[in-house]
Amino acid sequence: MSPEDNKEVKPEEKKEAPGPAKPAEAKKEEPKEEQPQKSKPRGQVPLEEPEEPKEIFAVKTSIGHEKIVADMIAARAKKRDAQVYAILSPQKLRGYVLVEGKGIERLRTLLKGLPKVRGVVHSEEHKPRAGQKAEPRKGISLDDIVGQLEPTSTVEGINEGDIVELISGPFKGEKARVEQIDKSKEEITVALIEAIVKIPVTVKGEAVRILEKEKEEEK
């Protein structure tokens, strides 16, 4: 026998058959810590703008066109749904229309382009003392115009003998002398100066404009 034959033959080690894979152990999730909600900084919170107060403004117009301007402002304000609450054209306040609204710049935008409008009158800005803030420009005070709101007679201020000009009617532009005044009807009777025949003409007090007051007799 050859030496190779004398070698001991070791039995093969039995390999274990692979069994089913063991399921992986599920990892326990650690509870997440609740993070406190951060409050929004005050600067990012939208703040409501303070509402502008109502103010009365005097709109300067061409003399004799106050009522026309008032009607145009009313029509445009209604069309644009502007914040205009009242419009007044006092008889004694010639050349001005009073408008109640919010904000002078808002009113200027509304009036832009309207004929016979000459601007908006407002009070001057208050000059502050040392350490004080300047106050914004405001509309006119109601106390400043209360005297213009009282109804007056159209013949007030007209006296017999005054020289007037007729500003409406068939004799518009003619000069006349006041002969008689009827305060109850607010009418005056005048005589045309340049007429050949002195025919008395009766007109309303608002239809004339005083040119010359009657001269008092020298004592």
Dump pLDDT digits (tens) for 139-196: 666 666 666 666 677 888 899 999 999 988 888 899 999 999 998 898 999 999 988 8
Decide: pTM greater than 0.85: no
Radius of gyration in angstroms for the set of CA atoms belonging to the chain, rounded to a whole number: 47
Which helix H or strand E contains 96, and what residues bound it?
Answer: strand 96-101
Cβ(73)–Cβ(88) under 8 Å? Answer: no
Q: Is 152 helix (H, G, I), strand (E, B) or coil?
A: coil
Q: Count how many domains the chain has.
A: 2
* Helix H or strand E segment including 185: none
Q: What is the CATH number of the domain that holds 76?
A: 3.30.70.940
Please, what is the angle between helix 66-80 and helix 104-111, to 10°?
100
- Both structure tokens of 185: 């009807």
Question: What domain range includes position 119?
Answer: 55-124+138-146
Q: Is 100 domain-assigned?
A: yes
